[in-house]
Amino acid sequence: MLRNQASVEEFELLASGVTPGFAAAPYQFTHGKGARLFDADNNDYIDFCAGTFTNSIGHAHPIAVKFMQERIAELWNIHDYSTPLRIKLLRLLNEMTPEHIDTFQFYTGGSETIEAGLRALHSYLPPERAKIVSFAGAYHGKTLGSRQLFGWQFPGESDCDITRLPFPDKFGLPAEQKNAYEQHCLELIESYFANDLHIGAVIYEPVLGAGGNLNASPLFWKQFNQLCKQFGVLQFVDEICVGFGRLGHDFSFQQYDIEPDLVAFAKGIGGGFPTMCIGGRKEIINAKPFGEKGGASTTFGGNPLSLAAMYITIQIYQQEQLAANAKDLETQLKDHVEKLASAFPDIFDFRVTGLMATLNLKHGTEEETKRFALTLHRHCLAQGVKVMTFDHLFRIAPPLNISTTDLDEGLNRMFAAFELTTQQGAVRTDSENLCPSV
């Protein structure tokens, strides 16, 4: 399908730094239903990225639509004042999380939520323990503080000197060496903690989402927890990408028996609405200056519509047992991905965790691989499946309530897209942004 005039104009007017998905799509989506999106000609596309890990209950869930239509007629924003729904939502969050996670505040973006957590930690930690470290390969957002956590520095910014702990990415290692490698990483982490007593907290995703769906064993996390306790290092868990049912538990830290002191909840918990929150130990969240009046608030954080979206998403998620559904679908997803990987050598490696898969592509040089991934992305859209690609990574994360039929259908469409890309080769484009049809 060729770009129409409006789409070309849109490209002229929009910042070029949008995601490669948009660059690949000469389509305009007009509406969605369940796991499917539709364009103006009523062609359907199975949404294999659930927005961007956000639309956990699919598109236009009838219960959510009705609930939100009623709320939109009531109240949009009143800042931090009380509403009947806020207490209900706080109770729900308190019930879902471990007992010591007992204080919450709401935000509208993931990076903003991470920044709020950093402000809370810096309010609580004594100055001599104020150093916060992260893991290599992690992603925590694009604002200054969240970006510095993984060393993404823009020109003109001051140096960010952040310690990044080794994440035990065991790809390519023979099975018998995997445990030893995890132990090696733990020893390195122990030496970081022992040699730098300024380290007061660590932020991490239990599964590195944007980093390529990397995970460590439950034993690794158990020992990591012990190390944190031994050295008095607080744990700030970033659930933004991999949390809320996707791995088969409400939150990914529960999957690994991690005991976080602070948690950032976002993306899927809002069902696609910009609504996120931080939860933590009261003494951390209420430490001053974060705990001073106004220290934790934002203009839109916790506005009634956002709270309503989070509330109804959690209700539907619980009633429809979507964490269990995600876990049940893991095998189906894995079987398909294994078939794909054995049919197409350009899939260099893959990982499936719960209802989330990442395929690692390799097609010649780095540049050639990027082009191949973009072409594959376009073929997927042309076949009617919306996926996510970033450089060499090809990611799948459908809504948690996708049916087995839609999952199969989407994966079959993906298979056809792989076949076409392999047969036809990567498309040449004059501009990476304004791409022709495939």
Residues contributing to the site for ligand PLP (CB under 6 A) = 109-111, 114, 139-141, 205, 209-210, 238, 240-241
Is the Cβ of residue 253 or residue 344 nearer to ligand PLP in the bound state?
A: 253
| Interatomic CA distance for residues 10 and 14, integer angstroms | 6
Strand partners, 47: 386
Cβ 364 to ligand PLP, closest distance in Å?
A: 28
Is the Cβ of residue 141 or residue 168 nearer to ligand PLP in the bound state?
A: 141
Is the Cβ of residue 240 or residue 387 nearer to ligand PLP in the bound state?
A: 240
Residue 359 token pair: 């395929």
| Interatomic CA distance for residues 159 and 52, integer angstroms | 30
Cβ 167 to ligand PLP, closest distance in Å?
A: 13
Is the Cβ of residue 47 or residue 238 nearer to ligand PLP in the bound state?
A: 238
| Interatomic CA distance for residues 120 and 287, integer angstroms | 7
Estimate the crossing angle of helix 304-319 against helix 322-343, to 10 degrees: 80
Cβ 347 to ligand PLP, closest distance in Å?
A: 23
Cβ 264 to ligand PLP, closest distance in Å?
A: 7
Is the Cβ of residue 140 or residue 379 nearer to ligand PLP in the bound state?
A: 140
User: Residue 12, class by beta-carbon neighbours within 10 Å (0-12 exposed, 13-18 middle, 19+ buried)?
Assistant: exposed
Q: How many residues does the chain have?
A: 438
CA 162 to chain centre: 22
Cβ 212 to ligand PLP, closest distance in Å?
A: 12
Is the Cβ of residue 51 or residue 384 nearer to ligand PLP in the bound state?
A: 51
Under DSSP, the state recorded for 295 is S
Residue 239 token pair: 């659930």
Cβ 221 to ligand PLP, closest distance in Å?
A: 17
Q: Which residues contact 267 (CB under 8 A, 6 or more apart)?
A: 52, 53, 54, 56, 110, 240, 241, 243, 244, 276
User: Which residue's CB atom is positioned nearest to ligand PLP?
Assistant: 110
